[in-house]
Amino acid sequence: MFKFHKRSLWIASGCLVPFLNLFAPSFLSLSGVGPSWAVLWLLPGGLIYGSTSGVVAGICLGLSLDGISLGGASHIPALVGLGYWWGRLGRRGRPIEQSFILGLLALIGTFFLGFSLWAQTLFLQYLEIGLVINYWGLHTLLAQAIITGLLAPMICSWLLLLWRRRFSL
């Protein structure tokens, strides 16, 4: 019960991520592509709360994002892998506090998530109509990785400070 109380702010803020995807502010976009809010939320949470919480959060967030998306590709595999990886990074090593490292982790995570979605879309298109290469996926992947990597030092640092203070109470 007490552990749930410490994580209640993290859980409640996770409910906002699908809404941020739907109502993304246009001034935070690059070539019409917004940041990956799931990565910006999962990165500090996984670093603080560990790999088990990161995996569970990745599943829940992936299910909610899959519920509002129109495509056949799923967010779940990539978010579960990222939650596990960032949870192990946070529990095994020294605390990650440098903004550059947070930006780099967010850039890698967004690239991994975008590549996973792009590969699933290509595979589903291959099954339906044959070999088709779409270049819009590469554009979306690169633009989203860049804007997320640039926003991560500010947003993830703030969330790390907020949730660490709450977790240590």
CATH number, domain containing residue 17: 1.10.1760
Is the predicted pLDDT of residue 1 greater than 70, yes or no? no
What's the pLDDT score for residue 115? 92
Query: What percent of the chain has a predicted confidence (pLDDT) above 90?
Result: 40
C-alpha to C-alpha distance for 91 and 47, rounded to whole angstroms:
7
Q: How many CA atoms lie within 13 A of 131 on its CB side?
A: 0
What's the pLDDT score for residue 5? 57
What's the pLDDT score for residue 165? 77
C-alpha to C-alpha distance for 164 and 169, rounded to whole angstroms:
9
Domain that holds residue 155: 2-167
Please write the tens of the pLDDT for every residue from 86-121: 999 887 777 777 888 999 999 999 999 999 998 888
User: What band does 125 get if pLDDT is binned at 50, 70 and 90?
Assistant: confident
**What pTM, to 2 d.p., does this model score?**
0.87
* Token digits of residue 153: 């030092």
158 CB neighbour count, 10 Å cutoff? 11
Q: Which DSSP state fits 16?
A: T
First to last CA, the chain: 14
Count of domains forming the chain: 1
